[in-house]
Amino acid sequence: MGVEVVVEGLTKSFGREVVWEDVTLTLPAGEISVLLGPSGTGKSVFLKTLVGLLRPDRGHIWIGGHDLANCRESTLYELRRLFGVLFQDGALFGSLSLYDNVAFPLREHTRKRESEIRRIVMEKMELVGLTGAEAKLPGEISGGMRKRAGLARALVLDPQIVLCDEPDSGLDPVRTAYLNQLIVDLNAETEATFLIVTHDINTARTVPDDIGLLFRRELVMFGPREMLLSSDEPVVRQFLNARRHGPIGMSEEKDVSELEAEARMGQDPGVLPPIPPQLMPTGDRVRRTQRAPGSWLSANGVTPPPGSFVDEHGRDWLSGPPRLAASHDEPGQAG
Ligand SMILES: Nc1ncnc2c1ncn2[C@@H]1O[C@H](COP(=O)(O)OP(=O)(O)OP(=O)(O)O)[C@@H](O)[C@H]1O
Ligand SMILES: [Mg+2]
């Protein structure tokens, strides 16, 4: 089972420039969380801070009783081994084959024999659909393949916490759909705690258990998917529905006159779109952390927008989704 990550009052600046301030959130053990925010709001900086590559100015990152933000180098080294990270640019070594790239953490951090390393590397390559491409150099493959190779490398030490920085950027919609399914399946299989940064609204709406949104140097909201998808908070509402209407402008913040003009025009469609069902793992895999559809809404007395939880086959998931782990059926589930 993955581990919980508790972030408390985290603040990071570069010189006089504050990236974000007083960020507090909990990544629940074994759940998939997504972090959203306009470009430049510090999502990548947040991931790098979580894994200890950047030191925050203030605050705590609690993992299993240790504060990663304020610990000795030796403890930090141990804590880092819990993480698998897919960086925004993939960060593969250009002169190494995919095989050697994926084997790198095993050779660096373990004393496994080459035969054992080979078994693990081939297993992870198969997991991400790269069997047969082991000998290729990163420069010889497509962007999507590089992402998947980066993912294989992130998984090779069986991490309990997986951080992915825009795993889907630059991918076509079909590959993005496959990658999203892969993430859900991996989570079901490994039960690691996932945090994914994405700009893909469909990914954000269907993949995670929890969603967070960074804007104007703060974490606007972090919580269950259903909470954010049904939220009236203007920034959350605008971002999660990819609308022009709202506080976020082209250069991050709209000024007062822009907002007043917008209010006079009355462009906001007002109603929220339906909440889609969450992406399920394939085969007979079950995610132990998956909540029953509608459980947050009914527990909080919120009525979902019409048409919510109906999938593309017309099945209504509120009246009984397939294959939910019994232990996670929460009270208040309809049907
Ligand atoms: N090492 C660094 N030194 C100084 N400033 C930095 C450093 N890394 C990031 N920044 C600044 O921190 C801010 C946040 O950058 P970050 O890369 O985290 O944004 P982001 O939310 O990931 O954006 P995008 O969606 O475009 O990837 C930016 O203003 C960036 O210039
Ligand atoms: Mg980034």
CA atoms within 13 A on the CB side of 279: 23
| CA of residue 150 relative to chain centroid, distance | 15
Per-domain residue ranges for the chain? Answer: 1-82+159-272, 96-150
Pick the atom of ligand 1 nearest to 214's CA.
21
For the residues of 238-271, what is the DSSP string, one character each? HHHTT-SSSSEETTEE--HHHHHHHHHHT----S
pLDDT, tens only, 319-334: 866 556 554 444 444 4
Q: Which residue among 11, 14, 214, 215 is best mutated to probe the pocket of ligand 1, counting the most ligand atoms within 8 A of its Cβ? A: 14
Confidence of residue 176 (pLDDT cuts 50, 70, 90): confident
For the CA atoms of 294, 298, 299, 301, the dihedral, rounded to the nearest 10 degrees, stands at: 140
Cα separation, 325 vs 278, whole angstroms? 14
Region for 132 from its dihedrals, namely left if φ exceeds 0, alpha if ψ lies in -120 to 50, beta otherwise: left
Pick the atom of ligand 1 nearest to 54's CA.
1
Q: What is the distance in A from the centroid of ligand 2 to the CA of 181?
A: 22
Confidence of residue 128 (pLDDT cuts 50, 70, 90): confident
| Pocket around ligand 1 at a 6 A CB cut-off | 14, 19, 37, 39-45, 88
Confidence of residue 42 (pLDDT cuts 50, 70, 90): very high
Pick the atom of ligand 1 nearest to 166's CA.
27
Query: Among candidates 185, 211, 187, which has minimal Cα distance to 198?
Result: 211
pLDDT, tens only, 71-122: 999 999 889 989 999 987 778 898 999 999 999 999 988 899 999 999 999 9
Closest Cα to atom 28 of ligand 1: 40
Per the DSSP assignment, residues forming a β-bridge with 74 are: none
Measured from the alpha carbon of residue 35, the closest ligand is: 1
pLDDT, tens only, 28-37: 999 999 999 9
Query: Among candidates 174, 171, 187, 180, which has minimal Cα distance to 206?
Result: 180
Cα separation, 335 vs 315, whole angstroms? 13
- Top CATH class of 1-82+159-272 equals alpha beta
